[in-house]
Structure 1
Amino acid sequence: MTVYLDLIWLLNLGIDFLLIIGTALLLKRKKNYVRMGAAAFFASLVVFFMFTPYVSIFMNPIVKFIYSCFIVFIAFGYIRFTFFLQNLAGFFFLTFVTGGGLFAMHYFFQTDVDLMAHLPGHGLGGSTISWAFVLIGFPLVFWFSKQQVDTFKIKKVHASEMATVKIEIEDFTFETRGLVDTGNQLKDPLTRAPVMIIEAHLLHPLLGKQQTDDMLNLDTKENHPFMHRIRLVPYKAVGQKQPYLTAFKPDQVTIYYGDEQFVTKRVLLGLYGEALSSEGEYQTIIHPQLVISQVS
């Protein structure tokens, strides 16, 4: 069997460099390409040790871990222990995810490509198919992994800002999920009461769809049974035709945020005709003032 050691080393050098660059992108680290190139070169040297009598030493998990520590140290340096530990964890995470992703692609497509770049009759240098599979599949798996990590981060932030909202209007009471949005600074210009945006359909059981739609279109009749609760708040948003937002005055709003409970009567419900979250995670946008202190 012919072994193309130079090709194996070159392939590993490229993958190691991509893993280090990927770690920097994942953790948003400053990229020093000289250090990263040196780290990738150091990482790729393990290929040569695999063909020496010392191969058993480098197959030891402890030695692999120490070797990885040196790779991360060369690539990112050492500022403090937590910084180094984050870099090491990010490097391991990306390595396992991309490696597992390549194996998953391999079995999903039922290819005969060996991920170790070995095909019978082609030696250990690999064929064009095996190289293409790794070089094309690796960036695809990395891109997919990064997109999923970013999505999880966003969901985690949203989850930490979620609250349960209980709204009371006469005998009508309902609960919904709300997102505390620091960017929402909307207030009633007359009373300075905070405005909490809610999806209009939440009031259908109380008002009915037609009356709710009339309120959204600023076409409310004077004999409307809840006319005394309706307010118009100056509001401008992209794609909105009217310069005002229809708001509704509840009797009381209770917000369960974290381990605290906030009760207020001084609040308006701004009606929004569409879904606030495309995935249905929340139906209200909570004014931050409502969870900072009791608004009486």
Structure 2
Amino acid sequence: MIVYAEYVLLENFIMNYIILHMTSKFSKYPSKKYKLLIAAFISALYAFIIFIPSLHFLFTVIMKLACSMVIIVLAYTPHKFKDFFRLLGIFYLITLIFGGAGFAIFYFTNFNGIISNGIFYTTDVSAKNIFIAGGTAYLLIHFVWGYITDQVKKDKIFLKVKIQIKDTIVECVGLVDTGNALKDPLTNYPVMVVEYKALEHILPLEITDVFSSSKYPSLEQLSEIFNHNEWITRIRMIPFKALGTENGMLIGIKPDMVFIEKDQDVKNIKDIIVAVYNNELSKDGNYKALLHPDLL
């Protein structure tokens, strides 16, 4: 059987680019188009190893994994290990679905091909079959991914939270947010983000006046008010990063105690900072606080 090199390169380049693009889309990790094109082209060259016996050691499992990692770095340049392994996992998931869809299409169209060292080579591939396989895989991923994310949303953990300062306690519903990694730079205590409206009744009049007049009051504003007040020892500045905000600051307050209720259990937490968020955390009002995962 004759295997045409240009077909091998074209097939792999198209499918690899689609897979890399889909990985970026479903991981919500942005990447430059030229990076995806370069990574897709280099990964397409991997199939040519079959023609070079001296490079057949690259067909081992460890080398295949290493090559996959290189492709992820080339395509996305992740700066954190967490992002790197998340991209790698999604990349493999999408690759498996695309591979299954491709094999199904080729099977039902009576393809002629061979499998060598885990790589599939076909001689009668057509643009039509490539796009049918790609389209089928896209639909599978789209609907399956949507179902999975819906199930994850349903399983979000909502807990009852009570915040105490002196003799006053306020209650609200908190969502355990695995993306909340905020910590107080001064004490390294975990930070719980709470809507201002949920805390309004527990704060002194001086603080509520500041938040009413300014959406994001500064530490200087609060320092002027509490320069000779015991509340100054409770005030913290919590730096944060978010989409569109590189060097944000939240006003934090040290409560006397926070109670987190889960089922019949109540956890009392003293080493914690409550960051005041002068906006809505949930559009539908299901929760008023974001809990740091370390609190559980």
TM-score (norm 2): 0.49
Larger Rg: 1
Considering fraction of residues, name the structure with more strand. 2
